[in-house]
């Protein structure tokens, strides 16, 4: 599969700069590793991607469910201690997602479902910043067992759950996304 995201790569022309030449070699190496080196690389990357999703959604999801009022027997603060696991899951997904993208860039760049997924991830990131920067987290950080979180924190938590579920669903539909020819 030829790379469609840079004219000199797609046309087979030699790059005009040293940086371009290095980029072409790196891109070709990653593409060879992900697609051609072994029939096990892509499935292994998918497994790691799903593991990252489990870590991410498991930790963020539990915290969000507690903020929404489920699992009221748990205080919020101990659930927050699992957030580094969610960050690790996100990092795993960034690395594996980058490798997927570099393995078939022409497919992903033109795929509308992929583009919507990336936009949804940006919105989820903004939602996370809202949670931590507006005081929504600080307002519910000290919520003890049996207590309710503030309404704004609940709104941010519900939005987070909806966004991450949308990201998972969009990810599953990427292979079926229409790529113009």
Q: What is the band of 8 on the pLDDT scale with cuts at 50, 70, 90?
A: very low
29: left (phi over 0), alpha (psi -120 to 50) or beta: alpha
Contact 18, 11 (CB under 8 A): no
> Which residue did the predictor score with more confidence, 48 or 83?
48
Please count the CA atoms within 13 angstroms of the CA of 115 that sit on its side-chain side: 9
State the Cα angle at 107 between 43 and 41, rounded to 5°: 20
pLDDT at 43 over 70: yes
d(CA 67, CA 52): 22
pLDDT grade, residue 53 (50/70/90)?
very high
pLDDT of residue 7 exceeding 90, the answer is no
pLDDT band at 150 (very low <50, low <70, confident <90, very high): confident
Q: Is the pLDDT of residue 82 over 50?
A: yes
What is the model's pTM?
Answer: 0.80
The mean pLDDT value of the chain amounts to: 85
Residues 31-44, mean pLDDT to the nearest whole number? 88
Is residue 58 very low, low, confident or very high in pLDDT (cuts 50, 70, 90)? very high
Residue 12: pLDDT over 70? no
Mean pLDDT of 82-100: 93
As given in the structure block, the two tokens for residue 162 are 């909806």
């Amino acid at each position: 599969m030829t790379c469609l995201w840079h004219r000199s790569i797609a046309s087979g022309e030699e790059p005009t700069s040293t940086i371009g030449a290095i980029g072409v070699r790196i891109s070709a190496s990653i593409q060879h590793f992900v697609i051609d080196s072994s029939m096990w690389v892509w499935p292994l990357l998918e497994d790691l991607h799903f593991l990252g999703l489990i870590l991410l959604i498991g930790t963020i999801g539990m915290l969000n469910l507690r903020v929404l009022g489920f699992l009221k027997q748990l205080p919020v603060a101990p659930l927050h201690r699992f957030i580094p696991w969610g960050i690790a899951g996100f990092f795993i997904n960034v690395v594996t997602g980058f490798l997927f993208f570099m393995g078939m860039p022409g497919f992903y760049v033109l795929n509308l479902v992929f583009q919507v997924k990336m936009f949804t991830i940006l919105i989820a990131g903004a939602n996370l910043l809202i949670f931590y920067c507006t005081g929504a987290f600080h307002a519910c950080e000290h919520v003890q067992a049996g207590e309710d979180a503030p309404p704004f924190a609940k709104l941010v938590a519900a939005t987070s759950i909806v966004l991450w579920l949308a990201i998972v669903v969009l990810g599953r539909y990427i292979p079926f996304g229409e790529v113009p020819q």
